[in-house]
Amino acid sequence: MDEKAKAPKRVKKPNIVVRLLALCTTGALVLGALMVVVYRDQLNLDAIRRRISYRNMQTSDTGEAAPFTHAGGSKLDLAYLEDGVVTASAAGAHYYGLDGEHLAERVLTLENPVLEASRTTGVVYDAGGQSLFAFRNSQEYFSLTLSGSADLLSARPNDSGWLAVTAQQSGFKGAVTVYNNRGSEVIQISLSSTFAIDAAISPDCRTAAVITIGQENGTFFSRLLLYPINQTEPSAQIDLGSIAVLDLDYEDDLIWVLGEDRLLMVDPHDSSIQSYTFSPSYLKGCSLGGDGFALLLTGRYRSGGATQAIVVHGGEQSARTVDLTGQILDCAAAGSYCALLSGSHLTIYDQELTLYSLLNDAQAARQLDLAPNGSALLANDQQTWLYIPK
């Protein structure tokens, strides 16, 4: 018998539909990448973020949301958080949702109200007093009342909700207490030889930066001490010179220290210092809230208003400037943006001081804060509202 011939091997036919879909997908990705390269100056991811964040919020033709009434009070200040608005005034502390819902409040008299905020957390305290209140996640999550003769000097939160509180306490020249995001004490740093005047927590919650002042041979000096939060001895002591520290901010790779005539940028890893000196001009305002940059307002004369806005970039050691003609009521920096509020309009710039958005009628707003996505929070004596650039 003849052997049966073997059946030929079946060849699999290509799936035309699958290949076509793969080809279309690849083409779309290539085209999308090409469009991003060609139109990168016209595309703005923050505009997309704003649409997502405020998708349920109605705005006017100018981009302004409906205002809501705040509690008011003299010495008013306000801060934009991810989920709301915190205000501080002589009448106390208030926490609102972005739609005006009243989330929490502390109604009491604050002689010297101070508001410090990160992107997630707002802290209100009475400078030189004993009361402190911290807000995040739509609630008051922590409060503090010092006893005896102790006085609050500073309280700074980071984005994780950790808090560094600096106070004068009996028996010490300065004390810094670090609290975690549940309000539990993590460490207390007590100093007997020098005065602690300010402190901040690193973004990773592992290090406390403490500003101290002392005196040698009749000359005052300032130092920056870095404390790992699991030990009470500093891992680094950095001399800042005879600078009076006015403000402090701790970023991932840089610590900003503001003085009366200069801005210091300290690398916490190698203790090196960069300095931007704005003397002989005089400091009129400042915001250290930008990502990798600071906004300064300076004037030519001791009296009078600001005549120049300056953006200082830490990593690049560079600065951008723009001349000012009108009175500036408030300024702010956050994310990649900075903003100036005058009596008639609001101007938002990018971090290169290129015009990003302009609101011609600011409706008598007197206070300003900025969201990292480029939106602005405005307030007058009675109302606050959000401006969302188109």
- Burial code (b: 16+ CB inside 10 Å, e: under 16) for 222-241 equals bbbbbbebeeeebebebebe
Of the pLDDT bands very low, low, confident and very high (cuts 50, 70, 90), residue 33 is very low
- The CA distances from residue 61 to 54, 359, 389, in Å, are 15, 11, 10
Q: For residues 63 and 79, what is the distance between their CA atoms, to the nearest angstrom?
A: 20
What pLDDT does 286 receive?
97
pLDDT above 50 for 102: yes
What the block records as the tokens of 46 is 């923050």
Q: What is the pLDDT of residue 147?
A: 87
Rounded to 10 degrees, the C-alpha dihedral 217/218/223/229 comes to 90
Q: What angle do CA 12, 16, 21 make, to 5 degrees?
A: 130
Q: What is the pLDDT of residue 4?
A: 46
| CA 160 vs CA 97, 122, 207, 336: distances in Å | 19, 11, 13, 20
For the domain bounded by 46-75+280-390, which CATH number is listed?
2.130.10.10
Paired with 81 in beta bridges are 84
Instruction: Give the per-residue pLDDT at 32.
Output: 43
User: Is the CB of residue 340 less than 8 Å from the CB of residue 334?
Assistant: no
pLDDT at 171: 77
**What integer is the mean pLDDT of 200-227?**
94
Residue 8 scores a pLDDT above 60: no
Could you give the percent of the chain with pLDDT greater than 90? 77
Comparison of pLDDT for 30 and 138, the residue scoring more? 138
Q: How many CB atoms lie within 10 A of CB 56?
A: 7
Q: Could you state, in order of their start, the residue ranges of all structural domains in the chain?
A: 46-75+280-390
Read off the pLDDT of residues 145-168 as tens digits, 9 standing for 90 and up.
Answer: 998 888 999 999 999 999 999 999
Min mean pLDDT across 3-7, 108-112, 127-131 is at: 3-7
pLDDT at 34: 42
How confident is the prediction for the chain on average, in pLDDT?
Answer: 89
pLDDT confidence of residue 12: 45
Place 26 in a pLDDT band, splitting at 50, 70 and 90: low
Asked if 270 and 235 touch (Cβ cutoff 8 Å), the reply is no
pTM for this entry: 0.86
- Beta-carbon contacts of residue 25 (< 8 Å; ≥ 6 apart): none
H/E segment holding residue 31: helix 16-38
pLDDT value at 30 more than 70:
no
Range with lowest mean pLDDT among 72-81, 280-289, 315-324? 315-324
**Residue 90: pLDDT over 90:** yes
Residue type, 103: L
pLDDT digits (tens, 9 = 90+) for 188-210: 999 988 999 999 999 999 999 99
Helices (H) and strands (E) in the chain, counts: 2, 32
